[in-house]
Amino acid sequence: MKSTPVLLLWNYVSTANGLSEWFADNVVLNHKDCVFTWNGVSQRATMLGSRLGIYMKFRWEGDCVGSFFEFRITVNELTDATVLQVTDYVERGDEQDAIDLWNSQIEILRRRIGC
């Protein structure tokens, strides 16, 4: 995300309005309960944790206890570049589909932010 300010990126990964800009068509966040909607189909998730400006961690409803997806923001000390790391646990064999999906979504985010 190059020189994107951390708080700007944080708003895109931690708020309903921000997530609705790039991740899902509609997002409702109510404390730890989250509803993400794509093409009229909703999927629920639970927020497992967050730390302001650093990470948001979710688990899809019905997924096993150890699985999660996470957005983590760091700043590279050498280049001062802002980095968004996405971690997503998927079923074996679905890895490439997940990588392709995330790459597509991150590209939308990059365009929205302007980097």
Q: Which residues 6+ apart lie within 8 Å of 80 measured at CB?
A: 3
- 18 domain-assigned: no
pLDDT in tens, 57-94: 999 998 776 788 999 999 998 999 999 999 998 878 88
Helix (H, G, I), strand (E, B) or coil at 89: coil
**What span, in angstroms and rounded, lies between the C-alpha atoms of 109 and 103?**
10
Domain count, the chain: 1
pLDDT in tens, 10-56: 999 999 999 999 999 999 999 999 999 999 999 999 999 999 999 99
Helix (H, G, I), strand (E, B) or coil at 5: coil
- 27 domain-assigned: no
Q: How far is the CA of 109 from the CAs of 1, 23, 31, 63, 97, in angstroms?
A: 9, 8, 24, 26, 18
| Domain extent at residue 60 | 6-13+48-113
- Residues pairing with 92 in the sheet: none
- 70 domain-assigned: yes
> The pTM is what?
0.89
